[in-house]
Structure 1
Amino acid sequence: MITSEDIDRIIGADALDSQDDRIGEVSQVYVDESTDNPTWVSVRLGLLSGAEVLVPLDDAEWDDHALHVTVERQTAREAPRKEMDEPLTEAEQERLYTHYGIPTVRHPRSELGLMEVDPDDVCYAVHEDAAVEARDLTRAS
């Protein structure tokens, strides 16, 4: 598990996929405000393109030289883009969850008015075989 103590060492390191193929260089680490745990890393794909993608830190490992993530290189490279140096919004996070196949909670439309979330910004994709815990969609990450 990646902890807050690892952040300074991770930035600038190579991010490697589950096959140890290089995705790119870690440029930023996103931390969940409520838990102080790192949850996503921004990975710079190349020096010339300047493109960056967010990669989940679920089950990632740090070996003091490189960050090993559990997603495939091509999947990371095809991830939805976002403006860097900006907080990760719930809508962006939900799109990323869907892209990476990370289970999320399905919310009935009747609950949306209570959550102060635009119905178009809610992700309904859920892996039916995954055990999913409820999470508050109105909480900022």
Structure 2
Amino acid sequence: MTMQGIENVVGETAYDVSGDKVGSVGNLYASDSTGRPEWVTVNTGLFGSKHTFVPLDGAHVEKDGLHLAPTKSKIKDAPRIDAGGHLSEGEATELYRYYGLGTPKANGNANNGKAGMAGQPGMQNAKMDGTAADGSMVRSEERLRAGTETVESGRVGLRKVVVTEEQQVTVPVSHEEVRVVREPIAEGETGGRIGEDQREVVLHEERPVVAKETVAVERVGLETETVRGEEQITETVRKEQVEVDGLDDDGTGKHKKH
């Protein structure tokens, strides 16, 4: 995997060995001696706030991004190392041991007194080193990536209480009343006698009776509805520009004769 072939995935999506997304590709780290990329940082966490070193051994580039050899859990649990500048001997040793790549050995020829690794001394950030083995230069820029997180904004509950109210209903009722009815005796009828007598009539009436019964009238529940909207986020990003020194007006490096 050459620097020219992998530099295009910077800022793209990084996947683990199973194809699960683990974050975005951050910086490339190349060997001081060969210029070949050996490590990559993967930006994980909310808005890419965490930078994790992952070896490029076994990695490959596809249309959807960079596919790495370790698993997602292995990458997320990797040692936290400052993703800038030069990897020290201790940092390199810690990473090699964690990923099971063996133990790097100190190299007396490491640049600037930095301890190197066997066959590949001094892992240097490819972006900060500036120049690859073929003389080309990698230009990098920051890209704004916005995401969302779900937070609790409030709670709504149901509570049933008992209230009292008055209701009026109209009930038809009836009752019996007594009235005196007199009928004349026809001439020639007998049976009348003089003496005391008493009769009793039982009167009836209807009275309203109230009874209560409990019936279910409706079911009340709660449901949530997702309302989509948009919010604008403004953030400052940086990018690198490449300036060329030593060129003439005609775009060549030759000086004109007077």
Instruction: Note whether the superposition's TM-score is higher than 0.5.
Output: yes
SS in 2 for 1:6: helix
Distance 1:18 1:31 in 2: 22
- C-alpha RMSD of matched pairs (Å): 2.6
Count of aligned pairs between the two proteins: 117
The aligned residue for residue 86 of structure 2 is: 87
Is the 1:9–1:64 contact (alpha carbons within 8 Å) kept by the matching residues of 2? no
The 1:50–1:61 alpha-carbon spacing in structure 2 relative to 1, beyond 3 Å, is: same
Is the 2:23–2:48 contact (alpha carbons within 8 Å) kept by the matching residues of 1? no
- Say whether residues 1:36 and 2:7 are aligned partners: no
SS in 1 for 2:96: helix
Report the CA distance between 1:49 and its aligned residue.
Answer: 6.1
The aligned residue for residue 135 of structure 1 is: 118
AA at the equivalent of 1:140: G
Distance 2:48 2:41 in 1: 14
Q: Map of 1:29-68 to 2, 5 A cutoff?
A: 29-48=28-47, 50-68=49-67
The 1:64–1:49 alpha-carbon spacing in structure 2 relative to 1, beyond 3 Å, is: closer
Q: Map of 1:91-102 to 2, 5 A cutoff?
A: 91-102=90-101
AA at the equivalent of 2:42: V
AA at the equivalent of 2:100: G
Distance 2:21 2:80 in 1: 19
Q: Which has the larger radius of gyration?
A: 2
Report the CA distance between 1:64 and its aligned residue.
Answer: 3.4
Distance 1:17 1:104 in 2: 23
The aligned residue for residue 131 of structure 1 is: none
Report the CA distance between 1:83 and its aligned residue.
Answer: 1.1
Is the 2:6–2:61 contact (alpha carbons within 8 Å) kept by the matching residues of 1? no
The aligned residue for residue 72 of structure 1 is: 71
Name the structure, 1 or 2, with higher relative contact order (CA <8 Å, separation 6+): 1
Name the structure with the higher strand share.
1
Tell me, which stretches of 5 or more residues in structure 2 are unaligned? 109-114, 124-258
Name the structure with the higher helix share.
1
TM-score by length of 2: 0.41
Tell me, which stretches of 5 or more residues in structure 1 are unaligned? 116-121, 123-133
The one-character-per-residue Cα deviations of 1:64-118 (angstroms, maximum 9, x if unpaired) are 331111100000000001112221112111100111111236x7xxxx8x96xxx
Report the CA distance between 1:140 and its aligned residue.
Answer: 1.8
